[in-house]
């Protein structure tokens, strides 16, 4: 994996070589027409950008040459110097020197000495004649070839990568089908070819996925300014600490969670952190601490937003949820804090006492949940009153391929993304209770409601689910425990098939309106397999719970 320095150096090289080519082109145009204003302005802009980029990367000698040339072009633009005579030769030499320096950076070599060039540029700025060396016999073939170098990097539109990934997905589906056919036919030659195809397509798939990966820092590095602006608007003092910018993730995932992360950060500053007076009164340091970090956990990427603010007032959220009619007072009293916090993600739910430009409009945390649901991600919340809050976004590394558990109901296969699965259980009837018409089991000291998956998928109408009775339990029950929004739900299935990576294709109209399904995939057997949307299944169960 590339380090952040390597990645930045490559980006610098790609831009610098592009600037160098543009400088050479505009200089030639300016030599033909010294009054070419657009070319002069462009040269000034290119020198300015190259200077800034070089200094940011620590290539100060390169930045110094660009700075001197920028100054000279500024004088030409202001008509204090003319692009003529010995100035032309020095400027061309200066651009050539920039090219040599850029190539030296790319090769990891020391930058060539530019003392004489800088001295001549200073002379020209002062209006003096430069000291020119004797004419060279001619430019060597090697020098000419250096000017024709191409960057090792290419720019590519994201939609082209999306299309490539889609085609690879189609290939992987066909590959699995061919592998299954080869095994069924038991033809050695066909089997060997299918296995070779498997290896090649596997490498191709991961190469394409790798090309889409970017460092999380691409997004995180935008937040210092956001935090600064929100803190200023809220009259708070906030110190932002970031880590894990090198963690790699699919570029599209980063794009999708941009708004979600923005809401969490703004929320942390606006709601989470106290004012300086409140912090001092609470015995805390005057400056609030906000941490943005990224890390990997198995195949997932975790992005955390942590503050040392006031924490979530669980009882206040409980009262607000009752006041808004989201839950009855009796039921609310039985909910644990995680279940209460889940109401913070209901649309329009806000704990702000007053509406400001930053908060209080009830828009925010529901956006976070919607973004995560669309990715098949999860949100974890940890909070302690008076100590602080941590929101953790659990994201897949890639949206192209997902690990899934295949289950069977009514002789039909269904895929459940692993990101939402907690465990599988085989329960004897004695391990299942009936409480309020709902099957309940206890797992890891927590009660988990159970529901036959066939009831959620096949029972029509908006009415409540039928009351469960012990007569409905016959023999061992195969249960898949899923997790969404800190709520566990046990789905009773007929049998577990296997675990495998799947390529999810979106459903086409009119099936795309059924929110219980997140897409469709094709198994190696040729069977079409619907991918279950765990958030939608959980919401359906809560709405139809008797």
Per-residue model confidence as pLDDT tens digits over 257-316: 888 898 889 889 988 899 999 999 989 999 999 999 999 887 789 999 999 998 988 888
Residue 351 has pLDDT above 70, yes or no: no
With tokens 């909070």, the residue in question is: 383
Contact 214, 254 (CB under 8 A): yes
Comparing CA positions, the residue from 396, 369, 399 lying closest to residue 260 is: 369
Q: Coil, helix or strand for 389? A: strand
User: How many whole angstroms separate alpha carbon 152 and alpha carbon 496?
Assistant: 49
Residue 187: asked if its preceding bond is cis (omega within 30°), the reply is: no
Q: Coil, helix or strand for 243? A: strand
CB atoms within 10 A of CB 26: 21
Per-residue model confidence as pLDDT tens digits over 430-456: 899 888 888 999 888 788 999 999 988
CB atoms within 10 A of CB 540: 19
CA distances from 247 to 186, 194, 294, 398, 502 (A): 44, 35, 6, 13, 24
Per-residue model confidence as pLDDT tens digits over 381-400: 899 998 999 999 988 877 76
Which distant-in-sequence residues (6+ apart) come within 8 Å of 290 by Cβ?
227, 238, 239, 240, 241, 265, 268, 269, 273, 305, 306, 307
User: How many whole angstroms separate alpha carbon 160 and alpha carbon 142?
Assistant: 36
User: How many whole angstroms separate alpha carbon 284 and alpha carbon 273?
Assistant: 11
pTM for this entry:
0.68
pLDDT the model gives residue 497? 92
b vs e for 507-532, b when ≥16 Cβ sit within 10 Å of the residue's Cβ?
beeeeeeeeebbbbbbbbeeeebbbb
Q: Coil, helix or strand for 297? A: strand
Contact 300, 419 (CB under 8 A): yes
Per-residue model confidence as pLDDT tens digits over 479-505: 999 988 777 899 999 999 988 878 887
């Amino acid at each position: 994996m590339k380090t952040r320095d390597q990645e930045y150096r490559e980006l610098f090289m790609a831009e610098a070589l592009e600037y160098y080519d543009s400088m050479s082109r505009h200089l030639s145009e300016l030599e033909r027409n010294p009054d070419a204003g657009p070319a002069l302005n462009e040269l000034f802009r290119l020198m300015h950008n190259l200077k800034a980029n070089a200094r940011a990367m620590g290539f100060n000698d390169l930045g110094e040459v660009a700075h001197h040339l920028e100054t000279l072009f500024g004088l030409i633009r202001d008509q204090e110097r003319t692009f003529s005579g010995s100035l032309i030769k020095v400027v061309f030499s200066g651009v050539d020197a920039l090219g040599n320096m850029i190539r030296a950076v790319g090769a990891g070599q020391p930058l060539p000495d530019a003392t004489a060039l800088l001295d001549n540029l200073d002379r020209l700025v002062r209006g003096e004649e430069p000291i020119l060396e004797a004419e060279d016999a001619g430019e060597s073939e090697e020098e000419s070839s250096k000017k024709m170098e191409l960057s090792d990097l290419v720019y590519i539109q994201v939609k082209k990568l999306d299309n490539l990934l889609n085609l690879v997905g189609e290939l992987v589906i066909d590959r699995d089908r061919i592998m299954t056919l080869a095994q069924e036919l038991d033809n050695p030659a066909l089997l060997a070819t299918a296995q070779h195809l498997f290896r090649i397509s596997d490498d191709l798939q991961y190469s394409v996925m790798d090309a889409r990966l970017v460092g999380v820092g691409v997004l995180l590095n935008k937040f210092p300014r956001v935090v600064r602006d929100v803190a200023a608007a809220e009259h708070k003092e906030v110190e932002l600490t970031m880590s894990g910018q090198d963690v790699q993730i699919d570029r599209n995932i980063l794009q999708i969670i941009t708004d979600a992360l923005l809401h969490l950060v703004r929320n942390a500053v606006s709601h989470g952190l106290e004012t300086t007076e409140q912090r001092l009164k609470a015995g805390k340091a005057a400056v609030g601490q906000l941490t943005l970090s990224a890390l990997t956990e198995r195949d997932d990427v975790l992005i955390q937003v942590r503050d040392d603010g006031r924490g979530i007032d669980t009882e206040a959220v409980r009262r607000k949820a009752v006041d808004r009619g989201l839950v009855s007072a009796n039921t609310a009293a039985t909910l644990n804090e995680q279940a209460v916090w889940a109401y913070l993600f209901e649309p329009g739910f806000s704990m702000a006492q007053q509406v400001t430009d930053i908060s209080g409009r009830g828009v925010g945390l529901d956006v976070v949940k919607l973004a995560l649901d669309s990715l098949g991600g999860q949100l974890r919340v940890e909070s302690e009153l008076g100590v602080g809050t941590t929101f953790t976004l659990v994201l897949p590394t890639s949206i192209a391929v997902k690990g899934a558990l295949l289950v069977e109901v009514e002789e039909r296969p269904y895929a459940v993304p692993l990101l939402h699965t907690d465990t599988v259980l085989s329960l004897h009837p004695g391990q299942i209770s009936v409480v309020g018409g709902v099957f309940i089991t206890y797992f890891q000291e927590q009660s988990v409601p159970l529901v036959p998956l066939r009831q959620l998928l096949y029972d029509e109408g908006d009415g409540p689910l039928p009351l469960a009775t012990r007569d409905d339990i016959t023999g061992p029950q195969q249960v898949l425990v899923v997790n969404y929004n800190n709520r566990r739900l046990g789905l009773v299935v007929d049998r577990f098939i296997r675990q495998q990576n799947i390529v999810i294709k979106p459903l086409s109209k009119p099936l795309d309106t059924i929110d219980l399904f997140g897409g469709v995939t094709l198994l190696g057997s040729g069977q079409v397999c619907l991918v279950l949307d765990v958030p939608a299944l959980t919401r359906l169960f809560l709405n139809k719970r008797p």
